[in-house]
Amino acid sequence: MGRKSSPTVRAALITGAAVIIGAFITGWWSLDPKDGVRSTPTTSGKVSQTSAATQESRPLFNSIVLDSRFFPSGWIGDGKHGTKYLSLEPKNTDINGESRIALRIVYSAGPEGWAGVYWQYPDGNWGGQPGLSFVGAREITFLARGVNGSEVVEFKSGGIRGQYSDSFEVSLGKVALTKEWKNYRIDLQGKDLSSVIGAFAWVAPAARGGDLSFWLADMQVR
């Protein structure tokens, strides 16, 4: 006659079998035969089919008005002399038939022969403090137009270096503005957006025989 298992042994065997069966059921439930995508039950009882890779490649980013977090505090070139050669003034103007606030920029030649402004976070940060993350953002968009229609301006994002630095730098190069409002786009896709101090900047040489003047409006990070 075979030996009888003790109650302790029988309980252990039952528990082990339950664990194995539970693991099998869980694996069968989560495995989707299509492309390795796993189906995960949600709290509503429905099944969502989203791969982990897809979730990682599409981090969430909430669109922001750029100048709600970044400030035009980084004056460079002749801008270092303050308002002696450079002015930035928000004004009411007509944008494609609609009265809106835009930034009027006027630059008069100084000793440096060029000027520019960075929109920084925090205000006045040249790398002494960490920036913000733009991870998941696709682009920076804005409107611009020249007063005379012959202005040449470079628009860029990133590029500040210091104890903390921008994790990227991208430029539209030299842009010839027209007298009409035009949409512009700085592509952020594929960039390391983990640290953003100088989210937006313009740089321009001094105009010959007069002021360089142009308008900016509707700066967005999307």
Domains and CATH numbers, the chain: 7-57 (no CATH), 64-221 (2.60.120.260)
pLDDT for 12 equals: 43
pLDDT in tens, the chain (222 residues): 444 444 444 444 344 444 433 433 333 333 333 333 322 333 333 333 333 344 345 567 999 999 999 999 999 999 999 999 999 999 999 999 999 999 999 999 999 999 999 999 999 999 999 999 999 999 999 999 999 998 999 999 999 999 999 999 999 999 999 999 999 999 999 999 999 999 999 999 999 889 999 999 999 999
pLDDT for 89 equals: 98
pLDDT for 46 equals: 37
Do 203 and 114 contact (CB within 8 A), yes or no?
yes
| Residue in 130, 148, 151, 134 with CA at minimum distance from that of residue 202 | 151
DSSP letters along 17-39, please?
HHHHHHHHHHHHHHB-SSTTPBE
User: Which amino acid makes up residue 76?
Assistant: I
- CA 27 – CA 48 distance, rounded (Å): 16
pLDDT for 209 equals: 85
Supply the pTM of this predicted model. 0.74
| Residue in 117, 105, 108, 88 with CA at minimum distance from that of residue 215 | 105
pLDDT for 60 equals: 74
Widest CA span in the chain: 114
| Residue in 71, 82, 72, 144 with CA at minimum distance from that of residue 108 | 82
Strand-strand pairing, 182-187 and 139-146: antiparallel
